[in-house]
Structure 1
Amino acid sequence: MAVSARRGAPLTLEEISSVALRLIDEGGMEGLSMRKLAAELNVNPMSLYHHVASKEALIGLICATAAHHVQLPPDDGSPWQEQLRELALAYYRHVRAHQSLWTYLQNHPEAVADRQMSIWQALYRILRLAGVPESELRRTSDVLHAFVTGFVVAETRGHLPDDPDEISRDFDTAIRLIIHGLAGFSS
């Protein structure tokens, strides 16, 4: 790890990713550049390239790090319906907290196509508990992702009320629709 003479301490991937995500949250994707990130970290911009090969690699790192911060429901034996509700709410909170990153990813799905990420694995686990056959896991998870994505897009574009209590009820309605629909797999 390279240590900047100005900085005095080595950079970590977590620090790089956290600061980059903050820049995106504050200024959108256009608020992130290797130069701005280096200034925030008090390092020479070239120091970043010892850790990430490019801005695209940095975005991949940000996505992976941010995904690890989503509070996933534990595999504690609780009913799949409760676990799915918790996962949906965790994803929703994450999307709302990092709207600019999420919007970017909707236009660049290749940036986060890794189905081994913990959030996808948690969804697959819950879908199995709901009775979804292995052969339908990918299709079902894609449909659920599209459903939730459509909800968030509608909400952020003003097609749903902007009152936080109302949004909460609307999202709860969406989750209930998903749960009732998935219940058909186990019948």
Structure 2
Amino acid sequence: MTKRRTLDREKVLATAEKLADEQGLEALTMPNLAKALDIRSQSLYNYVANREEMVSLTGARLMQQMYQQVVDGIIGLSGSKAYLKFADIVRDFLLAHASLSAILYHAQRFSTDSAMYQEIKRMIKLVDQVVDVDGNRLISSHVLVGAVLGYIFLETAPLYQDEDENAATVNYHQMLFRLIDPVEKA
């Protein structure tokens, strides 16, 4: 009896996510993904058009997961508590999913109609809500997104590998508080 395949786009993207997280975004190629799925490379084209779409869909899938964690984590919070919780959830998620950090680093490569671009825009709308407190903005969403991503990119680079996790968190929070109150001592 022939073994029936139960492969679908969700399984392809879940495997792509795992491959990228374990081996890096560079390893996320059509041949590597096909090998991980135990299928021929040509069969992947039934699920994704090309590597660019695969990366976009994988990134979008991760962005959806992060978005949901943020929403769940900030429910009932407002002001600086929501701001800090948002930033902590994003940092933790990106540190756990290095592939998403790499995808975000190259976000300019995605077309405005790509799944990844759409998820980035959705997250930015959420950021706008987090930084808006009763009509007053704690900070520009552009500044917050840039600071958080910049910190994470540097934190994961070999430059700061000697910094322990506690010191990294203290420094991260200090940066976040100084963004909303430059004279406050964090």
Give the C-alpha shift of residue 117 in structure 1.
Answer: 4.8
AA aligned opposite 1:128: D
Partner of 2:109: 110
1:73 corresponds to which letter in structure 2?
V
Q: 1:49-128 to 2 correspondence within 5 Å?
A: 49-70=45-66, 71-74=69-72, 76-111=75-110, 112-114=116-118, 117-128=121-132
Aligned partners of 1:16 and 1:150: how far apart in 2?
A: 30
1:174 is aligned with what amino acid? M
Q: Deviations over 1:56-107 (max 9, x none)?
A: 0001101110011111134634223222212111111122122244134313
Aligned residue for 1:58, secondary structure, equals helix
RMSD: 2.7
TM-score for both structures, normalised by structure 2:
0.77
Structure 2 counterpart of 1:11, one-letter code: L
SS of residue in 2 equivalent to 1:11: coil
Query: Which aligned segments of 4 or more residues in structure 1 are displaced greater than 6 angstroms?
Result: none
Q: Which residue of 1 aligns with 2:113?
A: none
**Secondary structure at the counterpart of residue 118 of structure 2:** coil
Contact 1:7–1:42 (Cα < 8 Å) also in 2 = no
5+ long unaligned stretches in structure 1: 134-138, 182-187
How does the TM-score come out when normalised to structure 1?
Answer: 0.77
Partner of 1:156: 156
Q: Is the 8 A contact 1:154 1:160 kept in 2?
A: no
Q: What SS does the corresponding residue of 1:69 show, helix, strand or coil?
A: helix
User: Percent identity over the alignment?
Assistant: 23
Match of 1:168 in 2: 169
1:124 Cα offset (Å): 1.9
